[in-house]
Amino acid sequence: MVLIFVLCQCCHSKKTETAPKRPNIVFIMSDDHAYQAISAYNSTLIQTPNIDRLASEGMLFTNASVTNSICAPSRAVILTGKHSHINGKIDNLSPFDTTNVTFPQLFKTAGYQTAMFGKLHFGNNPKGFDEFKILPGQGDYYNPKFITSTGDTIVKGYVTDIITDLTIDWMDKRRDTTKPFLLMYLHKAPHRSWLPEQRHYTTYSKKTFPLPSTLFDDYSTRGTAAKTAEMNLLKHMHLGYDNKLTQETFNTLNMDDTGLRNGAIKRMSEEQKAQWDSIYNPINDEFIAQFPTMTDSTLMVWKYQRYMQDYLGCIAAVDENVGRLLQYLDTHQLSDNTVVVYTSDQGFYLGEHGWFDKRFMYNESFKTPLLIKWPHKIHPGTTQTELVQNLDFAQTFLEIAGIQAPEDMQGKSLVPLLKGEKERWDRDAVYYHYYEYPAEHAVKRHYGIATKSYKLIHFYYDVDEWELYDNEKDSHELNNVYENPDYADIVKDLKAKLETLRIQYKDSDTLNNHYIQIYKDKGYIK
């Protein structure tokens, strides 16, 4: 009897010593989702309880940023773990070099089941995925077309709901339960031109939102780049395309503009269009009544409110659908061994400095939301202030999965921070480089360095201007102190650090000139 007991104990011991299952990873990314529009960061504009759940059960990063604040290049950086000048995807126009090795390819090779649903924004055949259904280019909000490995298809409904339906359908019906999975769940929303679903435009079109303190910024304390950018709400946001005024409204007011030139409206069914008209036609009627007495400032405020109503209405659907996915993980006992990440491909201006869009290295564009839940590893409710970037995602996911990262990846794994091992983190500055000029919004080419306290930016090509911001004293980045003698030593120190980072990341003026020549060869610049 004693022998039998010992043998049973040995068998039990072997069972308990088996290696733990590799964690699943769910990567959720929205397009142009400003961190200011997540209530875990800022509750003045919108409540996002489902996204916030990732902060309460995991970690909220307050100093997460991007390396290049524009959609497709940001996604290429995330997939490759390399800066834009290395992976070659410097702007939305240049093709993605498919010889790049992406982290999903490494996951698939290592035995993970991989899937992608939603908006990739470049390439129609993403490598490393067992299954994908992606939007062509920007995609549409209503009745969108999807590209699949077996052909294109149109799915009726609202894009944010559909992407979630496709994701859950895969998890429910085609997930291989014998394998860990990497799931990329990628939303189109809230990308311009901000078309909410009926359940949200009905309510959000009635809301009024607080004005940003810098809405009427005149850029007098900044350089040429801020003064010449074409993303001002009053001057550059379209009353038709963006604010949803119709051609009939412009005809009535005898205004020279094009109303609602948006293919997504044409994609609507008769029922969808009728619901849309029931809300947006009265908005047009109210504008017609108010316009004769509007000043520039009242028109600016009107445009801001219209912008927020539609933009935040789109985010309301994202938050609901994130909740649907989290609920699925809970219901099917997957949450306990699944890492869930929520982020955006970059930040976005919500009227700060009078702007919309992104591209700049200024905070609202440069910083991006990042929330990560990793059960049993991250202490719930942790706020992380260290400097991290989307450049780090690939190596982070690979380390979590126990997969060796290629030596030429340029980021740093966030795993030490996620596990609370801050002493293993030594980064004190991050590097940024934006290339696309001239282009929509006319943001000038620039690169720079950011620490927790300061930001040094160099605008180059058609100007040669430097800007320095003291983020501890000037959180809104209103005052360029580059020429202030009190900051001379800081400028000297940051320039030296900037040069070190450029060498570290293999960026240089020679490489800049190479990309400028490409723009010249294509006729983009003279």
Q: Are residues 484 and 382 in the same domain?
A: no
Residue 163 within any structural domain of the chain? yes
Q: Which residue has the tokens 């038709």?
A: 240
Q: Is the pLDDT of residue 15 over 80?
A: no
Higher pLDDT, 173 or 11: 173
Mark which of 272, 288, 307 sits at the end of a domain: 307
pLDDT at 94: 85
Q: Are residues 330 and 407 in the same domain?
A: yes
pLDDT at 448: 98
Q: Which residue has the tokens 């119709």?
A: 246
Higher pLDDT, 63 or 4: 63
Residue 2 within any structural domain of the chain? no
Q: Are residues 41 and 116 in the same domain?
A: yes
Q: How far apart are CA 287 and CA 147, in angstroms?
A: 39
Q: If you average pLDDT over residues 441-456, what whole number do you get?
A: 97
Q: Are residues 166 and 140 in the same domain?
A: yes
Other CB atoms within a 10 A radius of the CB of residue 221 amount to 14
- Of the listed ranges 84-88, 94-98, 268-272, the least confidently predicted one is 94-98
> Which H helix or E strand runs over 430?
strand 430-434
* Strand 113-118 relative to strand 131-134, pairing: parallel
| Residue 148 backbone dihedrals phi, psi, to 5 degrees | -130, 170
Residue 457 within any structural domain of the chain? yes
Average model confidence (pLDDT) for the chain? Answer: 93
Q: If you average pLDDT over residues 157-165, what whole number do you get?
A: 98
Q: How far apart are CA 329 and CA 215, in angstroms?
A: 41
Q: How far apart are CA 398 and CA 108, in angstroms?
A: 11
Q: Is the pLDDT of residue 341 over 60?
A: yes
| Residue 65 backbone dihedrals phi, psi, to 5 degrees | -145, 175
Residue 415: give its domain's CATH number.
3.40.720.10
Q: Is the pLDDT of residue 174 over 50?
A: yes
* pLDDT interval class at 16 (50, 70, 90): very low
Q: Which domain range does residue 249 map to?
A: 205-212+222-307
Instruction: Please report which residue ranges of 291-347 form alpha helices under DSSP H.
Output: 296-331
Q: Are residues 294 and 323 in the same domain?
A: no
Q: Are residues 237 and 341 in the same domain?
A: no
Q: How far apart are CA 505 and CA 405, in angstroms?
A: 17
Q: Where are the beta strands (DSSP E) in 69-172?
A: 113-118, 131-134, 145-148, 151-154
Residue 447: give its domain's CATH number.
3.30.1120.10
Short-list 475, 505, 479, CA closest to 364? 475
Mark which of 259, 291, 307 sits at the end of a domain: 307
Q: What is the DSSP letter of 365?
A: H
Model confidence pLDDT, tens digit, residues 265-301: 889 999 999 999 999 999 999 999 999 999 999 999 9
Q: Are residues 281 and 321 in the same domain?
A: no
Q: Are residues 47 and 171 in the same domain?
A: yes
Residue 262 within any structural domain of the chain? yes
Short-list 393, 317, 383, 313, CA closest to 26? 393
Q: Are residues 261 and 142 in the same domain?
A: no
Q: Are residues 142 and 245 in the same domain?
A: no
Q: What percentage of the chain has pLDDT greater than the value 90?
A: 87
Query: In angstroms, how far is CA 277 from the centroid of its own chain?
Result: 30
Q: Is the pLDDT of residue 190 over 60?
A: yes
> Which H helix or E strand runs over 393?
helix 393-401
- Of the listed ranges 43-57, 246-260, 287-301, the least confidently predicted one is 246-260
Other CB atoms within a 10 A radius of the CB of residue 435 amount to 23
Q: How far apart are CA 35 and CA 131, in angstroms?
A: 30
Residue 283 tokens read as 């908005």
Q: Is the pLDDT of residue 187 over 80?
A: yes
pLDDT at 4: 37
β-sheet with 24-30: strand ranges across: 151-154, 145-148, 131-134, 113-118, 181-186, 24-30, 338-344, 370-373, 59-61, 382-384
pLDDT at 123: 82
pLDDT at 472: 97
Q: Is the pLDDT of residue 449 over 70?
A: yes
Q: Is the pLDDT of residue 12 over 90?
A: no
Q: Where are the beta strands (DSSP E) in 81-136?
A: 113-118, 131-134
Q: Are residues 455 and 377 in the same domain?
A: no
Q: Is the pLDDT of residue 1 over 70?
A: no
Residue 13 within any structural domain of the chain? no
Q: If you average pLDDT over residues 102-107, what whole number do you get?
A: 98
As for how many domains the chain has, the answer is 3
pLDDT at 262: 58
pLDDT at 259: 56
Residue 11 within any structural domain of the chain? no
CA distances from 41 to 53, 60, 121 (A): 12, 8, 27
Mark which of 379, 408, 425 sits at the end of a domain: 425
Q: Is the pLDDT of residue 7 over 80?
A: no
Q: Are residues 248 and 105 in the same domain?
A: no
> Which H helix or E strand runs over 27?
strand 24-30
Peptide bond into 95 cis (omega under 30): no
Residue 15 within any structural domain of the chain? no
Q: What's the whole-model pTM score?
A: 0.94
